[in-house]
Structure 1
Amino acid sequence: MSELIIEPARTALVVIDLQVRIVGMDVGPHAGADVVRRSARLADAFRAAGGTVVVVRAERPGVAEQPPGSGLVAEIAPRDGDLAVTKHTWNAFHRTGLHERLDERGIGALVLSGLVTNAGVESTARAASDHDYDLVFPEDAMSGFDAAAHRFAVERIFPLLGTVTTTDAVLAALG
């Protein structure tokens, strides 16, 4: 296996749907709180290395008010320099301007984390692949509707799209 190399200036961390109600769901194999903790560690490291952090949140379209718990968990709230994206479909690229905003920053690679692996994360990964991004998947910084669904995505789908690794490997690659 080749060494993971991450160039902070051309790589963005995309943190998907770490909203109170989603983090509180019964997911597997990693608890929502663990996904938040690992994603926050990644976000801090990306910021420190001069990388871009994209914080994605989902809103249900066509409703007057979003369900309770639709706000982001505090640990993932966007900071100065981060990109904030509100999506109305499963993937973070559809009608959000995300690709254009990343392109303006010279971003050609993405590290994806968040919830849930086999919905928002996978849908965003497929769209990112269609836009020719190099993709990295720290599998312990995401979780599925259940462990089997997570395993299927990280063992069968994500290797076709990019590199499956761990949070610690991404942190090491950032230096």
Structure 2
Amino acid sequence: MLDTRKTALVVIDLMPRIVALDAAPYSGPEVVRQSLRLVGAFHGAGSLVVQVRVERPGVAEQPPGSSFVAEMEPQDGDLEIVKRAINAFHETGLQEELRDRGIATLVLAGIATNWGVEGTGRAASDYDYELLFAEDAMTSFTEEQHTFAVTQIFPRLGTVTTVEKILGSLA
């Protein structure tokens, strides 16, 4: 069972311009659906939900589709993080926010598996978080890239699991 007071869900880059990209093994909309299941369960358990989006540094205006997809707009109590690097910890204050809330475990989801999710997972591992990777709530640009991350990288950083198993551990 997850300690819901010390566990946060971190959802990475579910923005229209990213969700619309060709992805595998899951489509962007499939990742949004699975992530929404997690968000609902985490809200229901009173756990922290962290919504992360990326902005391109050094540009006057962000490209269209740079906000959160409508279904994933942060709700009251959610933490919104805007990153300008691959990982959500780099110069965002995320580490301080999580530590101030006593968070010890992170569940990671989002797009892309081997970019934002992996980068954030690697940084989180450096900060000694216990990590759960929701394999069916993330995707990449090719199935091979996704599979490599979930079979070769993530098991060295934490536990690769499914949305169903995470939902069961919150009950």
Residue 85, structure 1, aligned to residue 59, structure 2: no
CA distance in 2, matches of 1:131, 1:77: 27
Q: 1:7 is matched with which residue? A: 3
Deviations 1:94-146 (A, max 9, x none): 00000000011100000000000000000000000000000001100000111
The reply on whether 1:68 has 2:64 as its aligned counterpart is yes
The equivalences for 1:80-159 within 5 A come to 80-159=76-155
Q: How many residues align?
A: 171
How many angstroms apart in 2 are the aligned matches of 1:136 and 1:142?
A: 12
Task: State the SS of the aligned residue for 1:139.
Answer: strand
Percent identical residues: 58
- Deviating above 6 A after TM superposition, structure 1's stretches of 4 or more consecutive aligned residues are none
CA distance in 1, matches of 2:123, 2:86: 10
Q: What's the offset of the Cα at 1:74?
A: 1.0
SS at structure 1 position matched to 2:63:
coil
CA RMSD of aligned residues (A): 0.5
Matches of 2:160 and 2:166, distance apart in 1: 10
Of 165, 168, 172, 2:168 maps to 172
Structure 1 length normalisation: TM-score?
0.97
Compute the displacement of 1:6 (Å).
1.3
Counterparts of 2:123 and 2:141 in 1: how far apart (Å)?
A: 20
Output the CA distance in 2 between the equivalents of 1:53 and 1:161. 21
TM-score when normalising by structure 2: 0.99
Q: Which runs of 5+ in 1 are unaligned?
A: none
What SS does the aligned partner of 1:85 have? strand
